[in-house]
Structure 1
């Protein structure tokens, strides 16, 4: 039996940047056609959240760090694949999944403690621990809450 998911590693479309694009991309859907995989954005990233992913294409790994929106990745790109810094970096927001400890009645507030924007609030309920709620207006999608979650219940979703 052939594992078709492994075949993607050898193709130019190995990484789906529509699901996890870098900040400020002009055309996320065409990123793999335009990126030369030079690695300058990876080297320039101050928090090291950008790594070389499948096929050598840069991708974000929020399990390691958060995006500080420093714009160094965009400034380092020789292909000019990024928008100007005065644009919104992306329309990404954090999302709490069903395996969250608080939803299993275990007190945990690590995501809220790590959120500089204070976009994660905890809803109190009688007889239960407080559960996290994300204010989408305040959430920048930086990913600071992802790596601190002990059960990997938080993901960054691009809209």
Structure 2
């Protein structure tokens, strides 16, 4: 059953957008068919970023912290809705710096870069001004470590294809 129809059957008449799923989740339709909503992945997550979302399905909440890609959620999943495959990335999500970024507005702030272990957020010096953040999506793992520390909520982690629909 497609995602929009599932939403309709739950009494929602608007279109339903896919939520961010835990790492190594199957494609959305297959995930929804397989996931039993047992909350084992939620309980197993050591950083608490996997939480119960819409309809009882697990989702990711980076306001709680970051994903360390430990795989505990996959190990806990007995239905196979989360399946870690050799050499497969955890997901295609990437962090994006929004317009509210204070460093882009000339206020000194480097919190996102300081929390980015992968080094995907770097600061380019500007002559006579504040260094500006630059995101290297090729390096970004989508872990979300930059999201919660941002003082103005200027960072979001999402699938790069979501904004192109």
TM-score of the aligned structures, taking structure 1 as reference length: 0.85
User: Is the aligned partner of 1:59 residue 2:54?
Assistant: no
Question: Hey, which bits of structure 1, 4+ residues long, moved more than 4 A?
Answer: none
Distance 1:144 1:11, change over 3 A: farther
Q: Which segments of 5 or more consecutive residues in structure 1 lack a partner in the other structure? A: 1-6
Distance 1:100 1:9, change over 3 A: farther
Distance in 2, matches of 1:9 and 1:60, equals 23
- Deviation per CA, 1:70-127: give whole Å up to 9, x if none: 1111111111112324221111111000000111111100000001111110122223
Q: Which segments of 5 or more consecutive residues in structure 2 lack a partner in the other structure? A: 1-6, 161-165
* Deviation of 1:21 (Å): 2.2
Distance 1:104 1:9, change over 3 A: farther
Distance in 2, matches of 1:53 and 1:19, equals 8
User: Is the aligned partner of 1:158 residue 2:162?
Assistant: no
Q: State the number of aligned residues.
A: 153
Matched with 1:112 is 113
TM-score of the aligned structures, taking structure 2 as reference length: 0.82
Distance 1:111 1:8, change over 3 A: farther
Distance in 2, matches of 1:158 and 1:74, equals 20
1:126-137 pair list within 5 angstroms = 126-137=127-138
Distance 1:11 1:127, change over 3 A: farther
Distance 1:157 1:43, change over 3 A: same
| Contact 1:94–1:143, Cα closer than 8 Å, also in 2 | yes
